[in-house]
Structure 1
Amino acid sequence: MDITIHTTVLPHEDPEASLSFYRDTLGFEVRSDVGQGKMRWITVGPAGQPTSILLAPPAADPGISEEERATIARMMAKGTYGWILLASRDLDGTFEKVRAGGGEVVQEPVEQPYGVRDCAFRDPAGNMVRIQEVA
């Protein structure tokens, strides 16, 4: 089979804040921005790489009940609804850039007991963004 990862989805509550974090702080390019107000679907990704992140309104699906919307809102507030794992060859430099850009630090760079060195931030929507160091 010839299967690749094309796009993953993360929720956003404030499209401008999320756009600023992924574009300005992480340096991702904006590939599309569709919709208006809070109902925007924004696709971003690292320049020169085919994979993307779709930043989407979390409960825009008309099939989601009000109870489910409330659950999603609570999970986003706790940072347990969405997460992504990124990688960098310069973890310390990346960490400092994201912190200087206003990223909410969850964990400074550390050697994990399972053999990776990583750090963690929360994006403006509360999504966990972990960044691993790669050789």
Structure 2
Amino acid sequence: MFNAITITTVRVLDQDEALDFYVGKLGFQVDEDVDMGFMRWLTISLPSDPGRQLLLEVPGPPSMSGETAAQVRDLLTKGALGTAAILTTDDCQAAYDTLKGRGVEFTQDVEVQPYGTDCAFRDPFGNAIRVTQPAEQPAAITDADIARWSGGSNGRG
């Protein structure tokens, strides 16, 4: 039925600032930058994966009303819209060091997890982004992992 996911929307408050961050700091490339009059269609991708694009979209018409856009902007700046992207790498520590050197502020330093090694940061608008170096063989998840992820409670009675 479907062949691929080609475009995923990432909400941003300023497309030029988003370009500075995603292209200038993270190394994405611009695929399309089209002024459509009523909106700017701006897509980016990783040079190594041009078939998967991020649409950097400002909340507003035509996809949502002004009232809804204001609510989305508020949630975005609070970091409440969830993870915008998970970027994979062969060397999480090297990616962390490079991005840190470019001024990216991390919300989680490099940590070894059962699924691999990862870290996390937010873009200038509040979107959460994770960088993951997948484990060659995922480890079994322990009760200690569950407790750590859930803030100390594993949900068992």
TM range (shorter): 0.7 to 0.9
Alpha-carbon spacing, 1:62–1:127, altered in 2? closer, same or farther (3 Å): closer
Distance 1:52 1:105 in 2: 23
Cα distance, 1:33 vs structure 2: 1.0
**Amino acid corresponding to residue 46 of structure 2 in structure 1:** P
* Number of the residue aligned with 1:20: 20
* Number of the residue aligned with 2:150: none
Higher relative contact order (CA 8 A, sep 6+): 1
Misfit runs of 4+, over 4 Å: none
* Number of the residue aligned with 2:4: 4
Distance 1:103 1:26 in 2: 9
8 A contact 2:106–2:120 mirrored in 1: yes
Deviations 1:71-107 (A, max 9, x none): 2122111112252111111111111222222222111
**Amino acid corresponding to residue 96 of structure 1 in structure 2:** D
Distance 1:69 1:15 in 2: 15
Correspondence list, 1:20-39, <5 A: 20-35=20-35, 39=39
Distance 1:9 1:123 in 2: 14
* Number of the residue aligned with 2:85: 84
Deviations 1:32-73 (A, max 9, x none): 11228xx5332110114211111011223364251x223212
Structure 1, gaps ≥5 residues long? none
Q: TM-score, normalised by structure 2?
A: 0.74
Aligned residues: 131
* Number of the residue aligned with 2:147: none
**Amino acid corresponding to residue 86 of structure 1 in structure 2:** L
Distance 2:48 2:106 in 1: 27
Structure 2, gaps ≥5 residues long? 137-157
8 A contact 1:45–1:51 mirrored in 2: yes
Correspondence list, 1:38-53, <5 A: 39-49=39-49, 50-53=51-54
Greater Rg over alpha carbons, structure: 2
